[in-house]
């Protein structure tokens, strides 16, 4: 199974980077990939996620806060993420995926269910 899975992951990487702009954007770096999955999972679970939460969940070894901050701003500019005021603390900023990005990531993740099951 490991050879089949490795080949699947290689082809998946190339195909889905072409198919989904949001996946290609976030998979350019380890901190981008982690940020995407962190934001997606929190949004699906209906948990508000602040920028400081993202900083806390991505180790300094992977990226600095400035690097993560720049990634988030670039993703907002690209239309993949939205920044809103948090409901519990109006001083903090909530980070969520735009609807189209959320749907694209969901569709991308759904294909793994077929391989895993």
What confidence tens digit (pLDDT) does each residue in 2-46 have?
A: 888 888 888 988 888 889 999 999 999 999 999 999 999 999 999
Q: What is the DSSP letter of 86?
A: -
| Chain segment 44-70, per-residue pLDDT in tens | 999 999 999 999 999 999 999 999 999
Average pLDDT estimate for 67-79: 98
What is the model's pTM? Answer: 0.90
- Name the burial class of residue 87, with classes exposed (0-12), middle (13-18) and buried (19+) by CB atoms within 10 angstroms of its CB: exposed
116 falls in which pLDDT band (50, 70, 90)?
low
- What lies within 8 Å, CB to CB, of 95 at 6+ separation is 39, 49, 50, 51, 54, 72, 81, 82, 83
- Whether residue 115 has pLDDT greater than 80: no
Please give the backbone phi and psi of residue 64, each rounded to the nearest 5 degrees, phi first. -80, 165
């Amino acid at each position: 199974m490991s050879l089949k899975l490795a080949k699947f992951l290689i082809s998946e990487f190339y195909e889905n980077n072409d198919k989904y702009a949001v996946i290609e954007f976030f998979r350019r770096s380890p901190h981008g990939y982690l940020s995407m999955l962190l934001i997606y999972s929190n949004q699906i679970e209906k948990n508000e996620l602040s920028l400081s939460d993202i900083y806390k969940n991505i180790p300094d070894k992977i990226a600095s806060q400035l690097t993560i901050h720049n990634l988030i701003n670039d993703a907002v500019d690209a239309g993949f993420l939205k920044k809103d005021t948090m409901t519990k603390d109006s001083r903090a900023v909530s980070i969520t995926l735009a609807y189209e990005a959320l749907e694209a990531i969901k569709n991308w993740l759904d294909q793994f269910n077929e391989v895993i099951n």
